[in-house]
Structure 1
């Protein structure tokens, strides 16, 4: 990917944040040198991860997604939706608001919470949401490949309590679908997988959908 200009670059408390103007994909957000979204094709990803969203859904929880694009797309698909975005790094939200001209954070149907995803779900009432989107980074912050599976296990074990019985979850599995797929099969009765090609990512990525999430101790 050819960069024309570095628009913003800084090290937050959690990760390196960079926003570049590129020749092909417009303005792009990178976290720890991994692309998260681009101006030209983020809608491809957003549409895919929200593939199960319908008019009957009322309350969506987005874990991660500090760039605001998933929340923005969700409201365009379902204008009456209430969306809670839980983003660990407030510096990501600020950078996207300033340099990506992201104004969705001020929409009355959007609530932005700066918190750890697991901690937030631990403090949330049972059955509060009918859909959960896990839009976290390819490698969760503070984790390596060895414990990545444990992280997804924690996510699913907490999703069961915040998701109502008829709700669904969509998980961005990056380029390694096996980890998220294995965990999803342990916690959900109905699993679907979708391969999505987002040009700026440079390779296929995977979305795993699950319904009827159950608790497994």
Structure 2
């Protein structure tokens, strides 16, 4: 089990990279909730440095202290690059962080969120309300508890942006990294739409990014990724996959992004228009992973 005790103190082990010889431990100053939900093992706890944290199957999912980096970059980059998002789909994201950032864009008319595990959302509402900050009450939200892969396979809806806020490719999250899922997600995009995915930390998970980029290259005219640095995701830069048939969307100028940012009335803690542009300038080793994918 990922929660252990040395007799005096409880620790939560981050075992995502265990096969690579790396385990990170966080002190649990208080275990708030722990159980197997039927889908996965979930633990919510308090840590002095990172505040309230949630882990699924031994992998940290969200922390009160640094969640803003991930959620702002997953949401505002595609929404502001697109410039006219009316319908947005979130796959996963049960903690509500992506939703919180999405509802700040008043021009979005409908937000559909598909989460496979109701327990994640219900427990996040109860024990991590600061993550969603009331976003689940937004009238534009259509909250669906279902398999995201099955949803994009069968839904007739079209979306301008699809954000896949998934776990890593283990357990229930595996299907969200398969080519069939990406193909079906693309079919749900409007013309010029954008698919954004969570693709791990390339320094430790290069095959995860390489695999997604190879599939994106077969499906989209423009397949790339951008990066953000999130302290609790160990190993440096996190890669966020970017698939679209509009190859010019990542070339939107800082001036245009700044205008859209101000028009949206946003105030962010990590995202800025300049950071948006810089995020697509990849370190050489990540650029090589993307370039060689499917070669």
TM-score (norm 1): 0.89
Root mean square deviation of aligned Cα: 1.8
Indicate the SS of the match to 2:123: helix
Richer in strand (by share) = 1
1:136 corresponds, among 152, 155, 166, to 166
Alignment of 1:30-179 (within 5 A): 30-50=55-75, 51-54=77-80, 55-76=83-104, 78-81=105-108, 82-101=110-129, 102=132, 103-125=134-156, 128-142=158-172, 148=174, 151-175=177-201, 176=205, 177-179=209-211
Q: Conserved in 1, the CA contact under 8 Å of 2:166 and 2:176?
A: no
1:206 corresponds, among 212, 234, 239, to 239
How far the C-alpha of 1:192 sits from its partner, in A, is 2.5
1:21 aligned residue: 46
How far the C-alpha of 1:98 sits from its partner, in A, is 0.5
Q: 1:14 to 1:190 in 2, by over 3 A?
A: same
How far the C-alpha of 1:149 sits from its partner, in A, is 8.2
The structure number with the bigger radius of gyration is 2
Q: Do residues 8 (structure 1) and 33 (structure 2) align?
A: yes
Q: Conserved in 2, the CA contact under 8 Å of 1:149 and 1:180?
A: no
TM-score (norm 2): 0.66
Q: Conserved in 1, the CA contact under 8 Å of 2:103 and 2:138?
A: no
Q: 1:26 to 1:150 in 2, by over 3 A?
A: closer
| Range 83-92 or range 151-160, more displaced | 151-160
How far the C-alpha of 1:80 sits from its partner, in A, is 3.0
**Equivalenced residues, count:** 207
2:217 aligned residue: 185
Indicate the SS of the match to 2:84: coil
Q: Conserved in 2, the CA contact under 8 Å of 1:28 and 1:38?
A: yes
